Amino acid sequence: MPIKSFRGLIADNVQDTITLHTNDGSVGYKIIKFQILPQNFNITDEYNVKIFKVQQSTNTTTFDFSDNTLLAGAYFENSLNVGAEGSFEGTVVFDNEIFNQDIYVSAKSQSGGAVNYYIELEQINLSLDQNTVATLKDIRNIEQPSV
């Protein structure tokens, strides 16, 4: 299936919308790659970037894997302090999640710095049954958004 990629620079405490919805919902997606990279490596900072199925009212520094609207999360830490470990990156993608609506990328930084993100989505043609299930799951998530 075709692969679509998206990239951007996101500021601290900001949320980007990636528009994916179609009129009939017959095209689904799943995340196959998610990476983040700080804009500036010459500072000590921590970055949390998450991808959600629904728009978030706040951006937090915590990860909650029990949140069924969370599609992926990435963490990057860079330290310039003497004796510090340097850089660390961790990424988790829930690749079994298929969605057919817009997704939302949110970022939170310890020092207020910006971070780059790169996402690859596998495009999937959905049958009528798959379309209905994906759409109903998204509607249910919108009615009960996570915070």
Tell whether the model's pLDDT for residue 16 goes beyond 80: yes
What does the mean pLDDT of the chain come to?
84
Tell whether the model's pLDDT for residue 14 goes beyond 90: yes
pLDDT on residue 127:
81
Q: Which residues contact 118 (CB under 8 A, 6 or more apart)?
A: 5, 6, 7, 33, 34, 35, 36, 37
For residue range 44-94, list pLDDT tens digits in order. 788 999 999 999 988 888 899 999 899 999 998 877 665 556 667 788 888
Each as own residue / partner, the long-range contacts of residues 131-139 (CB below 8 Å, 24 or more positions apart, any chain) are 131/24, 131/25, 131/26, 131/28, 131/100, 134/25, 134/28, 134/98, 134/99, 134/100, 134/101, 135/25, 135/100, 135/101, 137/99, 138/53, 138/54, 138/99, 138/100, 138/101
* Share above pLDDT 70 across residues of the chain, in percent, rounded to a whole number: 86
- Domain-wise residue ranges, the chain: 3-143
